[in-house]
Each structure stands twice: as structure tokens, then as C-alpha cells.
């Protein structure tokens, strides 16, 4: 009988707790619904300018003005010739989608702000003021130059890919011209049948010529947008051949042969650098491991032998 009374009491306590929790959740849900309805009603009865402002996307109301202020701040603390240098870096990087000088300046200021605040507050939480100042300044400077590092890496990768793709593109140009196509048609064939930054640049050259730009001016603009020595040399040869009336096929054949020779020379140069590059990992990583594996058992036996005396 006592057990039944105990079980009944526990059941009553459990039901009471469930009832209280359910009441709390129902009350919270009703309060949330009431607040949502009140917010909708407030938006409905708000003045027209305020309602139109609230109906805009979050990007237009908050993110856009925030980046605009960062851009203005970046222009204020940036030299006047910095914009031209940034445009040059963007051209070398291939003009990534959504990137322009204003975005680079805004990201520089954002990196400075976020890096400086994070680097200062995290060590300060542990009570170290010196490390807070050091990390604040260091991360702030790193955030300031982070967009430049990104553009530099993009430009380096793009230039390396253009250098690798240029000999094959010239071979295809030679085949197309010798088969009877004109230079513009052969350039279009290369642009359509290849991928990568070189094909994109050839497409841009063709588009500029379709808009009325001369072939020499379009090719010179391509040379200005790149820092690849081989491509600039090829463009100079084509412009001179066009100016002096030299047959295009002969120039292309000579340029293609030189590009293949340079590619072989670069491969040999890279192979010659391998022993030098592997020297430090060999000395500091591989050799100590070999010494441990070879001499380790002998050292253990020697220590165990001498420990018996």
C-alpha cells in the first residue's frame, strides 16, 4: 500500500512539472505571436518612407552603406596613385568577379578593423596588455594587406598558367593559319577550343576588334594587362609583322618553336633546382629520422648493458 502511495505521489509531481512547462511554452509561443503581429502592424501603419526603407533587402539597408563608409575611409587614408596601382593588380589577377578598387579599399579597412580589434581583445581577456598591443598592431597590419596578398597570389597563379598554356596555343595558331584561316579566325579557334586565362584574353582581344579597335591596339592592350614575358614578346612580334607586312605564318612558326624551346629550358631549370630544394628537408627531417631508426636499437642495447654494472 505504501508503494502505491509513493508511485501516485511521483506521478502527481511529474504531471505537475509537465503542466508548468507546457504552460510556459504556450505562453512564450503566444507572446512571440503577439510580438510578430505587433511588428507587422507597426510596419503597416508606418509612414511611406519608413515602410519603403524597411521593405528593402538587408544588403541594401545595412551591408551596402557599411561598405560605402569603409570605401570612403579607405580613400581618405590612401594615396592618390593607389587607385591606378590597384587597377593594375586587378588586371594582372584577371579582374575577379565582383572585385574593383572600391571593394579592395573597403576590404582593407575591414581587415584593419577586424584584425586590430580581435588581436587586441583576445590577449586582453587573459590579462596581458603587452601581447594585446602586439597582436592588435600585427593582425591589424595583416588585415590591411590581406587583399593585396590575395591579388598577388591570384596574379602569380594566372601568370604561371598563361606561361604553361602559351606554347600549345601557339601550336594551334600555327596549324589554323597554315590550314588557310586568317589570323583573327585562327585566334577565335584557339579561344573557343581552349580554356583558362589565355583563352579569356584572346576572347577579349576579339571583342575589342569587333567593337572597332585595331588589331595592333587590341594586342598592345593585351600586353599591358599581363606581365608574362613570353606573351609580351609574342605580341611585339605580331604587331611588328603586321606593321611591316611580314607573313603571319612564318612569324607564328618561329614563335611556336621558340616557345617550345623555352618550355624545355624551364623544365630543365626546375629539375636542376630539385637537389637544392630537397637539401634542407633531407638534413633536418629525413636524416634525423634515419639516425633514430638505425641507431635507436643500438643505443637502447648499450644503455641496458651499462645499466647492469
The answer to whether position 65 is within a domain reads no
The answer to whether position 109 is within a domain reads yes
Last residue in a domain, options 155, 185, 215: 155
Cell of 274: 630539385
The answer to whether position 46 is within a domain reads no
Q: Which sign, positive or negative, has the C-alpha torsion 157, 163, 164, 165?
A: positive
Give the separation between CA 74 and CA 98, rounded to whole angstroms: 18
Residue ranges, the chain, pLDDT below 50: 1-2, 6, 21, 24-29, 32-33, 46, 50-51, 58
* Burial call 268-292: b when 16+ CB within 10 Å, e when fewer: eeeeeeeeeeeeeeeeeeeeeeeee
Distance of CA 7 to the CA centre of its chain: 66
Q: Say whether both 143 and 203 belong to one domain.
A: no
Q: Which domain range does residue 256 map to? A: 159-266
**DSSP state letter for 282:** I
* Number of domains the chain contains: 2
Cell of 302: 648499450
pLDDT of residue 140: 85
Q: Say whether both 128 and 217 belong to one domain.
A: no
* CATH of residue 191: 1.20.81
The answer to whether position 177 is within a domain reads yes
The answer to whether position 37 is within a domain reads no
For the stretch 4-35, pLDDT in tens is 554 555 565 556 555 554 554 444 445 544 55
For the stretch 120-175, pLDDT in tens is 787 777 777 788 788 888 888 888 888 888 999 999 999 999 999 899 899 989 89
Neighbouring CB atoms inside 10 A of 108's CB total 24
pLDDT of residue 17: 58
Q: Say whether both 150 and 163 belong to one domain.
A: no
Last residue in a domain, options 136, 155, 174: 155
Q: Say whether both 171 and 248 belong to one domain.
A: yes
Amino acid at each position: 500500500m505504501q508503494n502505491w502511495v509513493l508511485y501516485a505521489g511521483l506521478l502527481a509531481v511529474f504531471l505537475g512539472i509537465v503542466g508548468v512547462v507546457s504552460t510556459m511554452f504556450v505562453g512564450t509561443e503566444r507572446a512571440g505571436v503577439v510580438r510578430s503581429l505587433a511588428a507587422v502592424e507597426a510596419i503597416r501603419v508606418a509612414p511611406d518612407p519608413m515602410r519603403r526603407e524597411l521593405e528593402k533587402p538587408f544588403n541594401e539597408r545595412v551591408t551596402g552603406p557599411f561598405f560605402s563608409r569603409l570605401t570612403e575611409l579607405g580613400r581618405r587614408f590612401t594615396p592618390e596613385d593607389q587607385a591606378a596601382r590597384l587597377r593594375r593588380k586587378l588586371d594582372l589577377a584577371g579582374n575577379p568577379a565582383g572585385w574593383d578598387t572600391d571593394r579592395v579599399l573597403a576590404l582593407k579597412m575591414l581587415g584593419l578593423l577586424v584584425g586590430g580589434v580581435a588581436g587586441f581583445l583576445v590577449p586582453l581577456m587573459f590579462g596581458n596588455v603587452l601581447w594585446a598591443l602586439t597582436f592588435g598592431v600585427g593582425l591589424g597590419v595583416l588585415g590591411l594587406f590581406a587583399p593585396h596578398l590575395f591579388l598577388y597570389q591570384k596574379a602569380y597563379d594566372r601568370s604561371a598558367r598563361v606561361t604553361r598554356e602559351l606554347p600549345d596555343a601557339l601550336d594551334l595558331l600555327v596549324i589554323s593559319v597554315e590550314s588557310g584561316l586568317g589570323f583573327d579566325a585562327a585566334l577565335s579557334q584557339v579561344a573557343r577550343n581552349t580554356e583558362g586565362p589565355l583563352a579569356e584574353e584572346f576572347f577579349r582581344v576579339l571583342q575589342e576588334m569587333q567593337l572597332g579597335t585595331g588589331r595592333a591596339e587590341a594586342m598592345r592592350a593585351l600586353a599591358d594587362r599581363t606581365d608574362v614575358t613570353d606573351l609580351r614578346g609574342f605580341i611585339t612580334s605580331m604587331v611588328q609583322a603586321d606593321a611591316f607586312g611580314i607573313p603571319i605564318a612564318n612569324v607564328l612558326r618561329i614563335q611556336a618553336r621558340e616557345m617550345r624551346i623555352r618550355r624545355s629550358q624551364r623544365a630543365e631549370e626546375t629539375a636542376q633546382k630539385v637537389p637544392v630544394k630537397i637539401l634542407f628537408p633531407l638534413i633536418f627531417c629525413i636524416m634525423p629520422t634515419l639516425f633514430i631508426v638505425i641507431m635507436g636499437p643500438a643505443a637502447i642495447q648499450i644503455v641496458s648493458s651499462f645499466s647492469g654494472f
